Structure 1
Amino acid sequence: MAGEDPLRVVVIVASTRSGRFGPTVAGWFVGRAARRGDMVVDVVDLAEARLPETLADQDEAAPPAVRAVSRRLAAADAFVVVTPEYNQSFPAPLKTAIDWFYEEWQAKPVAFVAYGRESGGLQAVAQLRQVFVEVNAVPIRSCVSLRCYWEWFAADGSWPRAGAGFVAEAGVTLDQLAWWGLALREARVRRPYVA
């Protein structure tokens, strides 16, 4: 709609490993989103967020790092999780990040950009769909799956090289994320979500 506020999208970089590829994938996807006029993107890199590994009790105050990320997630209308697949699943720091929060995820769509070997991260995505449903988020159907991502480097060392088929997947995923993000934002305004 004309005059509608842009969708606030938080892109979460899930890998915290040394030498990780996640920031490259996230940078590419954020670039695709930036070409649109209907989204503003905030990147939360879990390697930089430094969320504690041990969760607090419900009656304990949240640590400063958790409060800082909480504000960013709460302000979001939608999420994109950029995740590798490790041993047929997603990284442990991502699960910890999901578990630190609850209301921040509710009634908001989540899209996935996954990368890995031949599975393209789809096994990690299948598990993440279950986890996000449990915190009352809305995983969308489309996702970006980067199979054997290391094969997509261009001769000059840039990534991805021209002609990568997953560019179309990114477009469909962003379209669906925008639809669900706007629909759920409007629904939350009309009637606050009750868990």
Structure 2
Amino acid sequence: MLNIAVLLGSTRDGRFGPAVAHWVMDHLAQRGDMSADLIDLVETPLPTVFPVLGQPPAGQEARDLLAAVSPRMAAADAFVIVTPEYNHSFPAALKNAIDWHSTEWHAKPVAFVSYGAFSAGLRAVEQLRLVLAELHAVTIRDSVGLQHPWEPIEGERKAAADAAAKVMLDRLAWWGLSLREAKVARPYAA
């Protein structure tokens, strides 16, 4: 079984992200090769003030906030990031969660489910690919972009989204298993 951390990046009031994240969780629940852990950044906020480089976070509250998220990310074999597109980019809370972690991303595959209006969140995904490359993550080419997901997704539109999710998760499974096996044979050089 691959342990998949589903990172829900939206923290706005009235956000649509939980509906999209639960759609992803439903797809993961149908698979026999993956277990899923939903990390919702509203339920698990992280500190926004970073310590001096190389120093631990200052204060017990910051350490407690990180303790609620960091071990879960470290335990993940792979990630699915669920993100909206805000102003042609991804949310600040998601960038904060990414920046608090480094080795947790190393040599792990990352898939994306984005949503938004016309662009379906794809501009946010393109920027996330650049950020995660710096952290030695392996981003999956196939992603799911949901255009206007607040409108009913049914018929051909639902079939297309479900098919895209299956392909994305199949490829995430391949990369997750391959990278996990590679790290057992040879530790990743960071």
Output the TM-score relative to the length of structure 1. Answer: 0.91
1:101 aligns with 2:94: no
Post-superposition offset of 1:63: 1.6
> Structure 1: which amino acid aligns with 2:110?
V
Q: Secondary structure at the match of 1:111?
A: strand
Where in structure 2 are the equivalents of 1:40-189 lying within 5 Å? 40-57=35-52, 58-61=54-57, 63-151=63-151, 153=152, 160-163=153-156, 164=158, 165-189=160-184
Provide the C-alpha distance between the structure 2 equivalents of 1:12 and 1:96, rounded to a whole number of angstroms: 12
Provide the C-alpha distance between the structure 1 equivalents of 2:93 and 2:32, rounded to a whole number of angstroms: 32
> Structure 1: which amino acid aligns with 2:187?
P
Unaligned runs of 5+ residues in structure 2 are: none
Show the counterpart of 1:33.
Answer: 28
Paired positions, count = 183
Per-residue CA deviation, residues 128-173 of structure 1 (Å, 9 max, x unaligned), is 000000000000100000012122x2xxxxxx43441211110100
Give % identity: 55
Unaligned runs of 5+ residues in structure 1 are: 1-5, 154-159
CA contact (8 A) 2:16 2:150 kept: no
State the 4+ residue runs in structure 1 displaced beyond 4 angstroms. none
> Structure 2: which amino acid aligns with 1:119?
S
Q: Secondary structure at the match of 1:47?
A: coil
Provide the C-alpha distance between the structure 1 equivalents of 2:148 and 2:68, rounded to a whole number of angstroms: 34
Provide the C-alpha distance between the structure 2 equivalents of 1:31 and 1:11, rounded to a whole number of angstroms: 12
Provide the C-alpha distance between the structure 2 equivalents of 1:69 and 1:89, rounded to a whole number of angstroms: 23
Larger deviation: 46-55 or 123-132?
46-55
Output the TM-score relative to the length of structure 2. Answer: 0.93
CA RMSD, 1 decimal = 1.1
Alignment counterpart, residue 16 of structure 2, candidates 6, 18, 21: 21
CA contact (8 A) 2:107 2:137 kept: yes
